[in-house]
Amino acid sequence: MRLKDAISTLSFGQKRGKLNVMYTQWGECVAQESKKSDYVPLKEYPRPQMRRKQYQILNGWWRYMVVKEKSWEIPRGRKFQGKILVPFSPESLLSGADFQLLPGETLWYEREVDLKPEENQGRRLLLHFGAVDQECKVFWNGTLVGEHLGGYLPFSMDITGYVREGKNKIQVACRDESDTGWRTRGKQKLEAGGMFYTAQSGIWQTVWLEWVPDVYVRRLKISPDYDSEALDLGIYPGGSKPGEVSSLWVEVYEGDGLVYRHEAQMQKESVTVHLKIPNFHKWSPEDPFLYGLRVGLGEDVVESYFAMRVFTKEPDTQGVPRLCLNHRPYFFNGVLDQGYWPDGLCTAPTDDALRADIIRMKRLGFRLMRKHCKIEPLRWYYHCDRLGMVVWQDMVNGGESYDMKRLCYLPTVLPKLTEGKSWSAAAAGRKNMKGCQEWLAECRETIRTLYNSPCVGAWVIFNEGWGQFATEPVTRMVKKADPSRPVDSASGWFDCGCGDIKSVHNYFETLICPKDRRTGKIEEARACVISEYGGLALAIEGHLSSDRVYGYRKLKTGEEFQRRYEQFQSQLKKLQREGLSAAIYTQVSDIEDEINGIYTYDRKVCKLQ
């Protein structure tokens, strides 16, 4: 145990000053382009696995005002305080607003949209939001048309009956309790520092409109059946008469070539089509092959894709449980990815920026990115699908205030004390049952939202005890919702012996395979994984976001960083032979105080040669 390094990570009541202004190369372009009044950032189609042609991106300059009270009444007779560049949260540099929304305040957005409904007779208009943090209500021409709780998931509403010819007004009201409430917040903290980062609020993913026929494809559920050489495709209709008889067809493409076509009649509220895919081309990080998919329902046509692959836990020839890809043991060499940006916070400046992190990590030899305490826009998962990067998806943590001394600091020094138990509900921030129920609903919705993504290879339910509760029942719920993927019930510590993975964090001791606490041997039922390690901290002058630095092993030179990293890789090769299935290095980039990144926070310097 490196006690000196461990103690250096403790922070009791320390406060930091204002962060340094820092842009990525993509953020610099956005800052320049956004000087134009008609600039539209992130204008790529937001939902790659269910694409249509008739849509309108509503990103761009909106008006805003902050009301200093909790009220959902549309403010009348008040002047707007400025303009904000959607979808960047007001706390980010790229938003152009530069303020922190506080608990008890309401942020109002407003803009006009020109529409021509007469050109879309018999069609419906859907309004989509990628994500709004944390709670919002949406008004169209002064009428409440929808609301949403939770800051990380997409939602939509049908506004057909509220649309008029010409100018239409959209208003969005947002509130965010951040870490003062029980809702999901990930690593956001109002008094940020160390391993917790600037709290953001409001609209932070793309807003868009989409015209659809009166009966349309509302959702697809794409389930590759690897062992049967087939695809089970669930089709769920929407519209005013989703149960009426409609023609249905499905086409599967390999490259540009049509390899399968299925035709039927749709007369139920949902249908599952079983498609045979003989002699299929399997997906892997080394060969990320995607099949094209087109679905027609009446007049509606959507384009999608899928991959033939399977993630399992199976014994190897020695009986050691291994995580497998396509029924073969596969070592998941991973990196922790928190998805923060100095200029956009949780919102990447551009689609190219989203893609660049994945490409760079793959070039460095990683085949897995653990998306940590955050859900990305769907385009990020699309890039992982097509570039060949496996994703382990964290559920975003919630709950009230955490007792960090008991949840983090003590387990770091004495990890064995946390085996097979969890601290009280109060320590984990779980005193409020309503907060638990909201989290369970978001957990199920996270699975539904990302279920179709081929790259998602495992679900990570709880991290280091933050908001942890009812671990075994929650694990059963997740396995029932998605039996096709392994589950890491408790990453780090507070392991309750359930799930498919024995998962530990190790920053301050020699790396070893996680063992059964009773036998001292590798478990017979669960694969062993080091779900966080490394955290080498190297400050690069001229590329620091904060005057304070935080890290798990502070180094002085790039040469030492390289040497320590190579030592880790050498240790992992030995542990693979002993039974280690995966290891996840901390982390992709520096974030604010935390300088544990392979890249600097502005993504301009790579610390590895």
Q: Which helix (H) or strand (E) holds 580?
A: strand 580-586
Greater model confidence, 448 or 493: 448
- Least confident piece of the model among 243-247, 372-376, 452-456: 243-247
DSSP per-residue string spanning 398-434: --S---HIIIIIHHHH-GGGGTT----TTTTT---HH
C-alpha to C-alpha distance for 546 and 541, rounded to whole angstroms:
11
Supply the pLDDT for residue 537: 97
C-alpha to C-alpha distance for 113 and 98, rounded to whole angstroms:
25
Q: Are 233 and 273 in contact (CB under 8 A)?
A: yes
pLDDT interval class at 12 (50, 70, 90): very low
Q: How many CB atoms lie within 10 A of CB 536?
A: 27
C-alpha pair distances (Å), 591 with each of 395, 401, 539, 551, 594:
20, 22, 12, 11, 5
- Least confident piece of the model among 67-81, 134-148, 300-314, 418-432: 418-432
Residue 503: pLDDT over 70: yes
Q: Are 339 and 542 in contact (CB under 8 A)?
A: no
550-583 burial, b at 16+ Cβ within 10 Å, e below that, comes to: bbbbbbeeeeebbeebeeeeebbeebbeebbbbb
The reply to whether omega before 587 is within 30° of 0 (cis) is: yes
- The label of the residue with tokens 């087109």 reads 294
Which region holds residue 96: left if phi is over 0, alpha if psi is between -120 and 50, else beta? left
Supply the pLDDT for residue 121: 78
The structural domains of the chain, ordered by start, are 1-9+330-597 (3.20.20.80), 39-211 (2.60.120.260), 213-304 (2.60.40.10)
- The label of the residue with tokens 């042609």 reads 53
Mean pLDDT in residue range 275-300: 97
C-alpha to C-alpha distance for 447 and 479, rounded to whole angstroms:
10
C-alpha to C-alpha distance for 358 and 291, rounded to whole angstroms:
21
pLDDT cut 70: percent of the chain above it: 96
Backbone angles phi, psi at 94, to 5 degrees: -70, -15
395-433 burial, b at 16+ Cβ within 10 Å, e below that, comes to: bbbbbbebbbebbbbbbbeebeebbeebbebebbbbeee
Mean pLDDT in residue range 15-19: 81
Q: Which helix (H) or strand (E) holds 32?
A: helix 25-33
Q: Are 340 and 20 in contact (CB under 8 A)?
A: no
C-alpha to C-alpha distance for 432 and 430, rounded to whole angstroms:
6
pLDDT digits (tens, 9 = 90+) for 416-435: 666 666 667 778 999 889 99
pLDDT interval class at 522 (50, 70, 90): confident
Q: Are 199 and 174 in contact (CB under 8 A)?
A: no
Supply the pLDDT for residue 330: 98
For 539, the token pair is 């400050």
C-alpha to C-alpha distance for 487 and 228, rounded to whole angstroms:
23
Supply the pLDDT for residue 244: 73
C-alpha to C-alpha distance for 415 and 494, rounded to whole angstroms:
9
Residue 318: pLDDT over 90: yes
pLDDT cut 90: percent of the chain above it: 85
Mean pLDDT in residue range 375-398: 98
The sign of the CA dihedral 5, 489, 593, 383 is positive
pLDDT digits (tens, 9 = 90+) for 553-595: 999 999 999 999 999 999 999 999 999 999 999 999 999 999 9
Mean pLDDT in residue range 410-415: 74
DSSP per-residue string spanning 462-485: EETTTT---HHHHHHHHHHH-TTS
pLDDT digits (tens, 9 = 90+) for 202-217: 999 999 999 999 999 9
pLDDT digits (tens, 9 = 90+) for 47-79: 999 999 999 999 999 999 999 987 899 998 899
Among 317, 365, 325, which Cα is nearest to 608's? 365
What pTM did the predictor assign? 0.96
C-alpha to C-alpha distance for 48 and 66, rounded to whole angstroms:
34
Q: Are 233 and 250 in contact (CB under 8 A)?
A: yes
C-alpha to C-alpha distance for 139 and 301, rounded to whole angstroms:
29
- What pairing do the DSSP bridges indicate for beta strands 246-254 and 291-297? antiparallel
